Amino acid sequence: MSPACARRPVGEVLVSSPPPLRRRSVTAVTLVGAFMAFLDATIVNIAVPDMETSFPRNSLGDLSWVLNGYNIAFAAFLVPFGRLADRWGRKRSFLLGLAVFTAASGLCALAGNVPLLVGARVLQAMGGALLVPTSLALLLEVFPAARRAAAVAAYGAASAVAAGIGPSVGGVLVALRGWELVFLVNLPLGAVTAAAGWRVLTESREPRGLPLPDLPGAGVLGVAVGALALAAVKGQDWGWGAPATLGFLALAAAALLVVALRSARHAAPVVDPALLRLRSFSVANAASLLFAIAFFATLLCNVLYLTAVWDYSTLRAGLAVTPAPIAASLVALPAERLARRFGARTVCVAGMLVFAAGACLYGTWIGPHPDFAGAWLPVSALTGIGAGASLPGLGAAALADVPPARFAVGTAANSAARQTGAVLGVALLVAAVGTPAPDALRHALQRGWLLAAASTVPAILLTLFLTGGTGRDGRAPAVAAEEEVSAPGSAATPRRAEP
């Protein structure tokens, strides 16, 4: 995952193609590991209403940090932890990330107050940030170049399935034992995956001499995103012109400046300035961040509306919000094919317009009385179709001009942009909803949906600045990505572990 992958040392020996049984075993282990991290990004949303019952003295703004703490740490450390794993060893990094993620899940379930729960979630995200990039690298190492595109597709499908079933699985778990079971389920799954990984994974790393990633810079980036989210969550309570609000906004700006200065000078920066100079990379990642604000704000708003206004149980709400991510998963592949033909810009803009229309319908058409089949289901399908057409296309467009040696770093950066958007989406939704009286809650949540719809406007405008969806040599992003994954010297190129 490091730019240093572009140079292959003289005399380097490639790992021979593994037998089919071992390839299947490695695929199962790495996909389950990544599945756990991706699942936890969505499964906890459905548990928020139950957490409100367990912690009645804490507001929705307080509980939002259970979601935001995970997303902030995950976004900040995804790229540097991937580079650290390249240097330290991918197998041991995968197992360490899995151990931290699993242990932190147990701490989440045992947390007796919200600050402890948020702290455990941050630790869990640190494990996930180490688990995700190493799982992809280890997966690609056991596939020949001609089949790596299929492996990437399987990896993407696992993440999509995790997002799709997260709400329904979370609803079942909360109904069985409460929000704690959402975290406890990771313990046996993590233990089995670690035992299997110890047996079937093979160590690999990049050549000696790679620079250490900028971990302090990642911490400063986390401070920047956290300060911005805190100002958004608390701004209404403190006052938007209050010293505390302005102080945290200033802290966010100062921290971002520090990240920019460190990235310009560091050998392995959190944000690679060379990639930012690529128009497709910068524009698509910025659009991904803005659209993620709308997407994640809508996801949480849906859960709150179903449980607080329609008085759905957690299980029923989990099942009710599932059609949208399922629709997104189903439309993602046809949308990718359309992007090959018509360009990512056209498909992404169309998808975001559809999503915005669905968010507007949530905010204006969904009534106070339950009507799942006649109102909720068609609107959910609309937003799901829009998300499925937009997010994968933006990810592909972000990589259209990225050099092969930096493909994995570019992928991680796009994931980090989406996670940052998730933080801001939850924070802005909490600010828009506030703490209304029970009879005003429905209208407050309608404001949240309309805010999500409005957040897609700048994303659409930015996407219009993309080129027609091709890289500098005219390849469609999906084609470019497929070739870059297979290219010699790419981040996925297998290497023997150093002695």
Asked if pLDDT for residue 105 goes beyond 60, the answer is yes
Asked if pLDDT for residue 9 goes beyond 60, the answer is no
Asked if pLDDT for residue 7 goes beyond 70, the answer is no
pLDDT at 254: 94
pLDDT at 386: 92
Q: For the whole model, what pTM was predicted?
A: 0.79
Asked if pLDDT for residue 498 goes beyond 60, the answer is no
**In three state form, how does the secondary structure of the chain look?**
CCHHHHCCCCCCCCCCCCCHHHHHHHHHHHHHHHHHHHHHHHHHHHHHHHHHHHCCCCCHHHHHHHHHHHHHHHHHHHHHHHHHHHHHCHHHHHHHHHHHHHHHHHHHHHCCCHHHHHHHHHHHHHHHHHHHHHHHHHHHHCCCHHHHHHHHHHHHHHHHHHHHHHHHHHHHHHHHHCCHHHHHCHHHHHHHHHHHHHHHCCCCCCCCCCCCCCHHHHHHHHHHHHHHHHHHHHHHHHCCCCHHHHHHHHHHHHHHHHHHHHHHHCCCCCCCHHHHCCHHHHHHHHHHHHHHHHHHHHHHHHHHHHHHCCCCCHHHHHHHCCHHHHHHHHHHHHHHHHHHHHCHHHHHHHHHHHHHHHHHHHHHCCCCCCCHHHHHHHHHHHHHHHHHHHHHHHHHHHCCCCCHHHHHHHHHHHHHHHHHHHHHHHHHHHHHHCCCCHHHHHHHHHHHHHHHHHHHHHHHHHHCCCCCCCCCCCCCHHHHHHHHHHCCCCCCCCCCCCC
pLDDT digits over 424-446, tens only?
888 888 888 877 878 888 999 99
How many Cα atoms sit within 13 Å of 296 on the Cβ side? 28
Taking residues 18-38, report their average pLDDT: 83
Taking residues 109-116, report their average pLDDT: 94
What does pLDDT average to over the chain? 82
Which of 2-6, 33-37, 178-182 is the least confident region? 2-6
| Token digits of residue 93 | 């990094």
pLDDT at 99: 96
pLDDT at 152: 65
| Token digits of residue 459 | 């994303």
pLDDT digits over 398-419, tens only?
877 877 556 667 777 888 888 8
Q: CB neighbours (10 Å) of residue 363?
A: 22
Taking residues 112-127, report their average pLDDT: 94
140, 276, 475, 480 from 472: Cα distances, Å: 26, 15, 7, 10
Phi, psi at 168, each rounded to 5°: -70, -40
Higher pLDDT, 144 or 481: 144
pLDDT at 146: 67
pLDDT digits over 284-313, tens only?
999 999 999 999 899 889 989 999 999 999
Phi, psi at 41, each rounded to 5°: -75, -20
Highest mean pLDDT (candidates 125-139, 324-338, 362-376)? 362-376
Asked if pLDDT for residue 279 goes beyond 70, the answer is yes
Asked if pLDDT for residue 216 goes beyond 80, the answer is yes
pLDDT digits over 233-278, tens only?
777 778 888 898 899 999 999 998 998 899 888 888 887 888 888 8
pLDDT at 459: 94
pLDDT at 477: 41
- Percent of all residues in the chain with a pLDDT value above 90, rounded to a whole number: 31
pLDDT at 380: 93
pLDDT digits over 48-66, tens only?
889 989 999 988 888 888 9
| Token digits of residue 338 | 């359309």
Total residue length of the chain: 499
pLDDT at 413: 82
